[in-house]
């Protein structure tokens, strides 16, 4: 059937106001659900009509996912906190400026106003074959189009290249790893906390995703210990 | 600009456009057809199914340029589309529809966003401001718009609304920027005529106009 | 993004232009500005109509194929789907009838908008009209097409290779075969050209193979030029294919009413798009109304709009409803035109002072699959003018590939030719120990400078050139010598470099018409057939007319943007010709108005016309005495009729102008004239471009610290608009240096660089916030107002000055193609030589 890369397919839109409600929706719709944070990654898939989820779960109404809180030992940033909020937050600027600087590198002001920290670390790779809808390993196929003698891969991996040579495009991820951040997730089995380094995975662990979130999981917050806080 | 009526059902679509409607639309001065109604309908995938409440289009109220506007909006509809095709506000442009060029920039609660990448259903209860909302009711230009006029900013002007809205939003956070700061602040907007130098001059002038307006 | 410090600026003093003029050379507020800043300016996709349908395109997934069968039943059965349009629905293309009666037969190889034999991945095969876009998109997905794959090729060298595939079934290059028994070359035709294995031996050494070319010219003694040279360099360079990326795509809206088609879309020429539409639809021009008051950029891609606009026009006819065709950004990447990349080679002999004694230029132009662009021949012409080689040979071939169609883009051929030669000159200057400005100064054109190709054994010549003065002025304002002398060039990992480049392009045509009306209320209306794509020439040129008539600008109106509004035959806004051509036409028309005013005054008040003068909105006896206002003269014109009020048009104006004159008859004093002024030479404008860059040799990233463009562009008409062109077009050129390019997967023949973030036009952060420009304001002697065009001349200099600054910072062993990116720099610095493939296209 012919391909057209324009005009989002219709979907049902759910706008829960709590993490618990969001989880119920994800459980209910299973593989038909798509989690929407800022949308700057999602809309490319949807407008290209490569992904056509039946149910989009919009997290923008969930207040508990927003904001920066001081904790006993550092800070906790809600996953839906926008990148602009991260860049401008007085505590982050003063004590964890590496994160503020890296968040400010992202894209453009408008994207930072809407894009979230959680979305930024969970975004999909931008390999132009994969994003163009080519049926490669990452898309569930059995080939990598970039990793051939003729493939165009100047912007792909030069270190740790594996069966897939796509790279993680997140600007904030290296800073969060350097700051020894911990990522807090809510799964169907309850809360789970992992080191930043373990949140991001390579093709040797799962070639179809860049991070450990499974369908039904939500990244709720990122905790930064005071280990590297500026004094 | 006439507000179009809500969408009709498929059966209501006229087989041929009536002559009277055409003549009503085409003014002798040659300015083209005025905004009129045309059809939007829910996806054919959902046709024939028992439609659950809330599927397809839904009537919502939006706060646009200080007015409450009632409009039928599809779940997957973007704010740019709603503005341009349902509210008659074509000043906001579609340059890429992919959050890369900034032509679609509007303010939502005074913050610049790419309206092509905002679902209209997520802006209920928020204030949307487009280029059409800047000038006064009597036609007096907003200080930033006036700055563009003062300095002959922009060339083809397709990027103009986006740049002006991005600037108005940015100046709220930094009313007295240097040229470099302003450039950073509006770096999410592309100008393919590459008029950046003159654009910066015009928008810096706009910033100056704003500061003067605040003073007196 | 880096927070760049502006380290130094060569601030041009705020120059005043237009000495001795009231309007020319002065800034003013153009009448379209209010609409632009309020969002009221309507572009094509802003129009709406009762019952409007939407259409979407089905693009070819294959680079070359034949459509065997289209299974569209499921799509057509969908509720809301109204019609489908395929190539079989297109009218046969019409022959062109030129103004002197010659018939140019329609080309069977021409692009038609839809096709049954797609020649590039992304080519539109069919269109579906439906009640909304969602339905149309779903309908497209329900269509199944059976394709027969055909051989394809994306790199010009691959089709020139012996045994290499052809992009079209009948060949791979455009030539003008001479029919047996005929005098000269015939109509362009697709033929096959293959080079030999021996030709391709050069490839092994990273040098461009140079086989037989269909086109070649030369002058001077090349052999002795090389023999006597102190230094001979032989360099290969590849330039990128860059999409025009007009911010407004070529969306179009169309409807029919009373047998006429009304089309809204962007264009670079309102007047000339109308006959193009008539040809594409094979209908009479008086059945076409074309509306385009605002166009979101052209840069050469919308010279007469684009043939894709007939898709909504034909669907509107089929469905008896208005049809909106919104072209997405990805579709625009495919059908929106691009500059052809060149694979080029220059062998140049230099004297010890750096004077070019011999130049052997060879270029391959990647044309895409359709109509031949003129970039290859233009490149030779421009290089021969700009560097005045004592002997020169130019060889070129325009090769077809299965890649999206090309068209001229701001300085077509000029950018490519100059970008290929400038790095060689920069290298020669270093090897000879000559200053970079000095080496360009001694090769600079001046006065009625000659250029190739020779016509009947003689070189042609320019109308004038003051580039030496522009170069000197630019070097002074840019503080060239100080920057060169500044040490150390390197601080830590940061290295500075400075570069200069010459630049030029054509700057004017002649022979078009002007039209104005002096109304009985004393206001003047200028009828402008020029496209409004942002250059402001649509309005600016009429300032020259108002200047001649001595009327205040507040009393002037300009009509533009709608062919139903009685416009004269106007040049296209391409080739930087508008300011030159249309100030001449405006001048001629104002002189015609003046003559008529004098005659009317003489008739009414006695004496001879030459006893009267026109000034201050009056025509009156010289030295004071009897007179009348322009308003009164206009009323008399209506009384007198005939030639005075448009009932008779001048015999030599174009038939479109005659129709417009007739339509305006009786409205006032109607003045119309063809530009018949003489011109000795061809018109060009020139720019000297200066740049400083800073490179971080650890990351490979660089930024442009400073830039200045110094122009010789004739009389300055509108300083701010001129500045917009000087810097805007320089920046467009810079894009070719800093990152724009196409990337193709050669195995599948599919483009992978489809989005803005893959091939980014320069953003506001890519350029210094304080760029400078200046213009000499010396009138061109061969045109009444002295003004020349300026859109294209700065482009090449924008790119080449950056490249030269980079090689100044990094040396000559870092890059041999553009654009130059961080990875290019890092890998070359590490290896000690350029590592990027020296010849391959689209990488």
The C-side interface with A (CB below 8 A) comprises 1, 56-59, 61, 133-134, 136-138, 140-145, 328, 330-331, 743-747, 752-754, 757-758, 823, 843
Residue B29 CB contacts under 8 Å (≥ 6 apart), including other chains: none
Report pLDDT digits (tens) over C659-700: 999 999 999 999 999 999 999 999 999 999 999 999 999 999
Distance between CA C283 and CA B165 in Å, rounded?
A: 44
Distance between CA A147 and CA C640 in Å, rounded?
A: 81
In a 10 Å sphere around its CB, with 0-12 CB exposed, 13-18 middle and 19+ buried, how is residue C796 labelled?
buried
Q: Are the C-beta atoms of C348 and C100 separated by less than 8 Å? A: no
Q: Are the C-beta atoms of A146 and A113 separated by less than 8 Å? A: no
The closest CB to that of B105, out of A13, A44, A110, belongs to: A110
The length of chain B, given as a count of residues: 216
Residues of B within 8 A of A120 (CB-CB) are none
Report pLDDT digits (tens) over A147-204: 888 899 988 998 878 899 999 999 999 999 999 999 999 999 999 999 999 999 999 9
In a 10 Å sphere around its CB, with 0-12 CB exposed, 13-18 middle and 19+ buried, how is residue C203 labelled?
middle
Interchain contact, C134 vs A7, CB within 8 Å: yes
Report pLDDT digits (tens) over C402-422: 999 999 999 999 999 999 999
| C442: pLDDT strictly greater than 50 | yes
Residue C576: predicted pLDDT:
85
Q: Are the C-beta atoms of C351 and C650 separated by less than 8 Å? A: no
DSSP letter assigned to residue C112: -
The closest CB to that of A8, out of B45, B76, B102, belongs to: B76
Query: What is the DSSP pairing of strand C260-265 with strand C288-291?
Result: parallel
Interchain contact, C141 vs A49, CB within 8 Å: yes
The rounded average pLDDT for each run of 10 residues, N- to C-terminus, in chain B (216 residues) is 34 37 34 47 45 60 97 96 97 98 98 98 97 96 97 96 98 97 98 97 97 84
Distance between CA C528 and CA C470 in Å, rounded?
A: 32
Q: Which of B126, B86, B136 is nearest to B106 (CA)?
A: B126
3-class DSSP string for C733-802: HHHHHHCCCCCEECCCCEECCCCCCCCCCCCCCCCCCCCEEEECCCCCCCCCCCECCCCCHHHHHHHHHH
Interchain contact, A152 vs C133, CB within 8 Å: no
Residue B56: predicted pLDDT:
63
Q: Does B112 contact A at CB distance below 8 Å? A: yes
Interchain contact, A109 vs B186, CB within 8 Å: yes
**Helical packing angle, C414-432 and C375-387, nearest 10°:** 40
For range C397-403, the mean pLDDT: 97
Residue B29: predicted pLDDT:
28
Residues of A within 8 A of C823 (CB-CB) are 154
Inter-chain Cβ pairs, chain A and chain B, closer than 8 A: 78
Q: Determine the residue of chain B that is closest to C5 in CA distance.
A: B180
Distance between CA C226 and CA C217 in Å, rounded?
A: 17
| A36: pLDDT strictly greater than 80 | yes
Residues of B within 8 A of A12 (CB-CB) are 52, 54-55, 75
Name which of B47, B75, B187 to mutate to probe chain A: the one with the most chain A Cβ atoms within 10 A of its Cβ.
B75
Distance between CA C583 and CA C540 in Å, rounded?
A: 9
Residue C530: predicted pLDDT:
83
Distance between CA C330 and CA A54 in Å, rounded?
A: 25
Q: Are the C-beta atoms of C707 and C7 separated by less than 8 Å? A: no
Average pLDDT in chain C: 94
Residue B49: predicted pLDDT:
41
Distance between CA A71 and CA C386 in Å, rounded?
A: 68
Report pLDDT digits (tens) over C186-222: 788 899 999 999 999 999 999 999 999 998 999 999 9
Residue C269: predicted pLDDT:
86
Q: Which H or E run contains C235?
A: strand C231-238
In a 10 Å sphere around its CB, with 0-12 CB exposed, 13-18 middle and 19+ buried, how is residue C793 labelled?
buried
Q: Are the C-beta atoms of A172 and A117 separated by less than 8 Å? A: yes
Determine if the peptide bond prior to C403 is cis (ω within 30°). Answer: no
Report pLDDT digits (tens) over A85-105: 999 999 999 999 999 999 999
Residues of A within 8 A of C139 (CB-CB) are none
Q: Which of A75, A82, A77 is nearest to A60 (CA)?
A: A82
Q: Are the C-beta atoms of C233 and C348 separated by less than 8 Å? A: yes
Interchain contact, C50 vs B21, CB within 8 Å: yes
Report pLDDT digits (tens) over C325-344: 999 999 999 999 999 999 99
For range C817-822, the mean pLDDT: 96
Å from A83 to nearest chain B CA? 13
Q: Does B39 contact C at CB distance below 8 Å? A: yes
**Helical packing angle, C270-281 and C655-664, nearest 10°:** 110
**Helical packing angle, C630-640 and C578-605, nearest 10°:** 80
């Amino acid at each position: 059937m012919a391909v057209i890369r324009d005009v989002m397919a219709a979907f049902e839109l759910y706008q829960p106001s709590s993490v618990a409600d969001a989880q119920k929706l994800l459980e209910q719709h299973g593989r038909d659900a798509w989690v929407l944070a800022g949308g700057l990654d999602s809309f490319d898939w949807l407008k290209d009509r490569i992904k056509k989820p039946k149910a989009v779960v919009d997290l923008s109404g969930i207040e508990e996912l927003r904001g920066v809180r001081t904790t006993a030992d550092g800070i906790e940033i809600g996953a839906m906190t926008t990148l602009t909020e991260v860049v401008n937050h007085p505590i982050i600027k003063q004590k964890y400026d590496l994160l503020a600087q890296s968040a400010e590198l992202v894209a453009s002001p408008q994207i930072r106003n809407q894009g979230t920290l959680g979305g930024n670390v969970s975004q999909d790779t931008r390999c132009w074959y994969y994003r163009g809808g080519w049926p490669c390993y990452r898309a569930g196929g059995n080939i990598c189009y970039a990793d051939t003698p003729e493939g165009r891969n100047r912007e792909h991996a030069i270190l740790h290249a594996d069966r897939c040579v796509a790279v993680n495009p997140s600007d904030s991820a290296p800073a969060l790893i350097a700051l020894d951040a911990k990522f807090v997730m809510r799964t169907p089995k309850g809360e789970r906390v992992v080191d930043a380094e373990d949140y991001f995975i390579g093709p040797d662990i799962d070639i179809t995703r860049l991070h450990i979130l499974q369908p039904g999981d939500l990244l709720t917050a990122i905790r930064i210990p005071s280990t590297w806080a500026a004094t | 600009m006439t507000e179009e009526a809500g969408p009709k059902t498929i059966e209501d679509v006229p087989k041929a456009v009536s002559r009277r409607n055409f003549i009503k639309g085409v003014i002798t001065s040659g300015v083209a057809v005025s905004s009129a109604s045309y059809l939007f309908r829910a996806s054919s995938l959902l046709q024939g199914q028992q439609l659950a409440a809330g599927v397809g289009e839904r009537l919502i109220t939006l706060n646009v340029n200080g007015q409450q506007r009632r409009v039928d909006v599809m779940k997957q509809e973007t704010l740019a589309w709603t503005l341009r095709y349902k509210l008659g506000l074509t000043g906001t442009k579609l340059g890429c529809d992919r959050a890369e060029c900034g032509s679609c920039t509007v303010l939502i609660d005074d913050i610049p966003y790419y309206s092509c990448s905002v679902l209209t259903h997520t802006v209920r209860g928020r204030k949307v401001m487009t280029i059409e909302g800047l000038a006064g009711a009597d036609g007096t230009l907003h200080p930033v718009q006036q700055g563009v006029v003062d300095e002959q900013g922009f060339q083809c002007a397709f990027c103009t609304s986006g740049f002006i809205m991005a600037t108005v939003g940015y100046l709220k956070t930094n009313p007295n920027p240097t040229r470099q700061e302003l450039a950073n602040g509006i770096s999410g907007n592309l100008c393919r005529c590459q008029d950046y130098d003159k654009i910066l001059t015009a928008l810096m002038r706009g910033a100056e106009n704003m500061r003067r307006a605040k003073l007196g | 993004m880096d927070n760049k410090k502006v380290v130094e600026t060569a601030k041009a003093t705020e120059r005043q232009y237009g000495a001795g003029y009231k309007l020319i050379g002065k800034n003013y507020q153009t009448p379209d500005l209010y609409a632009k800043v309020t969002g009221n300016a309507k572009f094509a996709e802003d129009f709406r109509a009762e019952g409007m349908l939407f259409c979407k395109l089905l693009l070819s997934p294959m680079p070359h194929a034949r459509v065997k069968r289209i299974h569209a039943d499921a799509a057509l059965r969908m509720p809301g789907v109204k019609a489908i349009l395929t190539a079989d629905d297109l009218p046969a293309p019409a022959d062109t009838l030129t103004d002197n009666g010659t018939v140019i037969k329609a080309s069977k190889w021409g692009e038609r908008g839809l096709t049954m034999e797609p020649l590039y991945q992304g080519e539109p095969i069919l269109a579906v009209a439906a009640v909304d876009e969602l339905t149309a998109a779903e309908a497209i997905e329900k269509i199944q097409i059976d394709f027969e794959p055909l051989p394809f090729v994306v790199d010009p060298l691959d089709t020139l290779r012996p045994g290499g595939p052809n992009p079209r079934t009948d060949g791979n290059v455009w030539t003008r075969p001479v029919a047996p028994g005929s005098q000269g070359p015939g109509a362009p035709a697709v033929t096959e050209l293959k080079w030999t294995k021996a030709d391709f031996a050069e490839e092994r050494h990273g040098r461009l193979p140079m086989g037989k070319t269909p086109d070649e010219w030369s002058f001077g003694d090349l052999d002795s030029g090389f023999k006597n040279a102190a230094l001979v360099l032989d360099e290969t360079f590849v330039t990128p294919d860059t999409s025009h990326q007009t911010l407004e795509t070529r969306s179009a809206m169309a409807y029919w009413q009373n047998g006429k088609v009304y089309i809204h879309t962007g264009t670079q020429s309102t007047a000339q798009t109308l006959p193009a539409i008539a040809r594409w639809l094979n209908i009479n021009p008086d059945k076409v109304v074309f509306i385009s008051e605002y166009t979101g950029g052209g840069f050469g891609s919308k010279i007469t709009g684009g043939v894709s606009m007939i898709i909504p026009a034909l669907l509107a006819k089929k469905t008896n409803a208005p049809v909106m065709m919104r072209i997405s950004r990805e579709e625009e990447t495919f059908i929106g035109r691009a500059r052809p990349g060149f694979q080029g080679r220059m062998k140049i002999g230099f004297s010890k002072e750096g004077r070019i004694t011999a130049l052997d230029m060879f270029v391959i132009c990647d044309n895409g699959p359709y109509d031949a662009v003129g970039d290859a021949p233009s490149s030779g012409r421009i290089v021969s003018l700009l560097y005045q080689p004592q002997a020169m040979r130019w060889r070129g071939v325009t090769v077809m590939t299965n890649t999206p169609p090309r068209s001229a883009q701001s300085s077509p051929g000029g950018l490519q030719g100059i970008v290929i030669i400038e790095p060689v000159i920069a290298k020669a200057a270093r090897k000879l120990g000559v200053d970079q400005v000095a080496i360009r100064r001694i090769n600079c054109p001046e006065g009625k400078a000659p250029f190739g190709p020779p016509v009947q054994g003689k070189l042609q010549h320019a109308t004038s050139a003051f580039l030496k003065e522009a170069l000197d002025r630019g070097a002074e304002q840019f503080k060239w010598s100080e920057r060169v002398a500044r040490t150390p060039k390197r601080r830590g990992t940061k290295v500075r470099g400075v570069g200069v480049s010459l630049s030029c392009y054509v700057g004017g045509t002649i022979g078009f018409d002007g039209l104005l009306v002096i109304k009985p209320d004393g206001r003047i209306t200028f009828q402008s057939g020029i496209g409004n794509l942002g250059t402001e020439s649509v309005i600016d040129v009429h300032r020259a007319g108002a200047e001649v008539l001595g009327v205040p600008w507040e009393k002037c109106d300009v009509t533009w943007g709608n062919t139903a509004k009685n416009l004269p035959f106007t040049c296209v806004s391409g080739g930087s010709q508008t300011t030159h051509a249309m100030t001449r036409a405006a001048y001629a028309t104002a002189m015609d108005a003046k003559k008529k005013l004098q005659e009317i005054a003489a008739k009414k008040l006695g004496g001879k016309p030459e006893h009267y003068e026109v000034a201050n909105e009056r025509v009156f006896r010289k030295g004071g005495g009897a007179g009348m206002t322009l308003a009164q003269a206009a009323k008399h014109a209506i009384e007198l009729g005939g030639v005075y009020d448009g009932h008779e048009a001048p015999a030599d104006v174009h038939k479109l102008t005659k129709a417009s004159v007739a339509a305006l008859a009786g409205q006032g004093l109607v003045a119309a004239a063809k530009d018949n002024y003489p011109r000795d030479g061809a018109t060009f404008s020139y720019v000297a471009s200066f740049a400083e860059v800073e490179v971080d040799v650890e990351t490979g990233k660089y930024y442009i610290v400073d830039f200045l463009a110094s122009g010789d562009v004739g009389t300055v008409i509108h300083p701010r608009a001129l500045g917009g062109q000087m810097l805007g077009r320089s920046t467009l050129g810079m894009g070719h240096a800093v990152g724009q390019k196409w990337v193709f997967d050669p195995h599948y023949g599919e483009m992978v660089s489809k989005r803005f973030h893959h091939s980014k036009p320069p953003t506001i952060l890519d350029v210094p916030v304080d760029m400078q420009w200046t213009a000499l304001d010396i009138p061109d002697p061969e045109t009444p107002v002295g003004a020349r065009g300026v859109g294209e001349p700065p482009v090449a200099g924008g790119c080449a000055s950056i490249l030269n600054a980079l090689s100044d910072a990094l040396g000559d062993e870092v890059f041999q193609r553009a654009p130059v990116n961080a990875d290019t720099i890092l890998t070359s610095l590490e290896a000690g030589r350029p590592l990027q493939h020296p010849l391959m296209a689209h990488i």
